Amino acid sequence: GALVYQYPRRTICKSGTSMRMECQAVGFQATSVAWYRQSPQKTFELIALSTVNSAIKYEQNFTQEKFPISHPNLSFSSMTVLNAYLEDRGLYLCGARDWGAKSAETLYFGSGTRLTVL
Amino acid sequence: GDSVTQTEGLVTLTEGLPVMLNCTYQTIYSNPFLFWYVQHLNESPRLLLKSFTDNKRTEHQGFHATLHKSSSSFHLQKSSAQLSDSALYYCALSLANSGTYQRFGTGTKLQVVP
């Protein structure tokens, strides 16, 4: 079956430092990877959509300078939160799609990375 | 732009009563995919249901929903609530074959009490 491993599950960083999270797709090809953030008491906001061999598209209020993303192949994607501050805390989630699959509309989600900023 | 609306932030029900969580959507595209996700405390969202077909009921784990394109709705229902159903429920919209992502609604917290 299709699985997405996301790590770390939890991380704590000091204000002003950076942290990186990674997603590994197993059993399918992660043609597109969407990165979301769920801030406390809020819904999932899309940060950016990354497609292999295409430019990464960031949503309004999110920038490459703050959330650089790497999507080098069909099984791996990473995102870094640079200079993390209190407002960056929350659950970060990657969701991967396989455009070539029968259920191409399905997003396979990782388990999430919960970021705490001190 | 595309959007998903979940009007209830919190629904509190007594165990055994029927569940209905509302979801409506807006999109200019004629073939959206609609999803329901369930998120338990400190967990990531898990796919509960999805549908692409107009007026066809889809079921999973006792929950069901029917996509009605005429009213742009995809309400989640269950005949009898259980205590274990207490969780956050998110409705999401995806546009198949457009290269876009899933857009989530604001979520509805379902609290089932004895």
3-class SS at B84? helix
pLDDT at position B71: 96
pLDDT at position A36: 95
pLDDT at position B95: 73
What average pLDDT score do residues A12-30 get? 95
Q: Do B107 and A105 touch (CB under 8 A)?
A: no
Is some CB atom of chain A closer than 8 A to the CB atom of B99?
Answer: yes
Q: How confident is the model at residue A104 (pLDDT cuts 50, 70, 90)?
A: low
Residues of B in contact with A32 (CB under 8 A): 99, 101
Is some CB atom of chain A closer than 8 A to the CB atom of B102?
Answer: yes
User: What's the whole-number average pLDDT of chain A?
Assistant: 91
Instruction: Note the pLDDT tens digit of each residue in A80-95.
Output: 999 999 999 999 999 9
CA distances from A28 to A3, A38, A103, B81 (A): 8, 25, 11, 35
Chain A residue with the nearest C-alpha to that of B100: A49
Half-sphere exposure (CA, 13 Å, Cβ side) for A50? 26
Q: Do B103 and A34 touch (CB under 8 A)?
A: no
Token pair, residue A102, equals: 């029968």
Residues A94 and B34: their CA atoms lie apart, in Å, by: 19
Is some CB atom of chain B closer than 8 A to the CB atom of A109?
Answer: yes
Q: Do B100 and A49 touch (CB under 8 A)?
A: yes
Q: Walk me through the domains of chain A, giving residue ranges and CATH numbers.
A: 3-117 (2.60.40.10)
Instruction: Note the pLDDT tens digit of each residue in A43-78.
Output: 889 999 998 888 899 998 899 999 999 999 999 999
Tens-binned pLDDT, residue by residue, of chain B (114 aa): 788 999 999 999 999 999 999 999 998 888 889 999 999 887 888 889 999 899 999 999 999 999 999 999 999 999 999 999 999 999 999 875 555 678 899 999 999 999
What average pLDDT score do residues A104-115 get? 86
pLDDT at position B44: 80
Chain B residue with the nearest C-alpha to that of A107: B102
Among A residues 29-88, those touching chain B with beta carbons less than 8 Å apart? 32, 34, 36, 42-44, 46, 49, 51
Q: How confident is the model at residue A15 (pLDDT cuts 50, 70, 90)?
A: very high
Residues B94 and B102: their CA atoms lie apart, in Å, by: 5
Is some CB atom of chain B closer than 8 A to the CB atom of A23?
Answer: no
Nearest to B105 among A32, A43, A111 (CB): A43
B3-113 classified as CATH 2.60.40.10? yes
